[in-house]
Amino acid sequence: MFIGNHFNKYDEHYDAMEMTHKIHLCAINKPTRMQLDLLKQYFLQLPMNEIIIGLKFAHNRWIANDAGTLKVGRKSIVRKETHSITIEQAQWRLKNWNVMIKNYQKLGYSNTTIHRIKKTLNMICTL
């Protein structure tokens, strides 16, 4: 697969801002013309560091998904933690919120997720 053009620095059309480099990639599956065009567009428009960061993210997500360890989204975490909780249980969790925060942090939940769990518990208490 070929992406981009190549300008020789001795070429009369050489301009540092327009200089591009050839990149040869191997892929497991044959990409479609549209996929090749998208790749070319991304490689021409984005800084290389951003492309590397995005590919690293996609790679880590793919490995986690393949291994079955991909964490579920925030909505399903909040639903899992607050599903079928009685008003008494919600009140107890809110009274002992500092302990609950430590437990949620041990589980790897983000502060935003913890906040949404608390918000949902408060809604259960007001029912």
Asked whether residue 60 falls in the same domain as residue 92, the answer is no
Asked whether residue 12 falls in the same domain as residue 44, the answer is yes
Of 58, 56, 63, 118, nearest in space to 91 by CA: 118
pLDDT tops 70 at residue 110: yes
pLDDT-derived band at 18 (thresholds 50, 70, 90) equals low
Query: Which pLDDT score is estimated for 101?
Result: 95
Domain that holds residue 86: 74-125
Q: For residues 57 and 40, give the distance between their C-alpha atoms in angstroms, rounded to a whole number.
A: 19
Domain boundary among 38, 67, 96: 67
Which 3-state string (H, E, C) describes 62-103?
A: HHHHHHCCCCCCHHHHHHHHHCCCCHHHHHHHHHCHHHHHHH
pLDDT-derived band at 21 (thresholds 50, 70, 90) equals confident
Asked whether residue 7 falls in the same domain as residue 53, the answer is yes
Model-level pTM? 0.46
Asked whether residue 63 falls in the same domain as residue 6, the answer is yes
Q: Tell me: the pLDDT tens digits for 29-38?
A: 999 999 999 9
Query: What average pLDDT does the segment 123-127 reach?
Result: 90
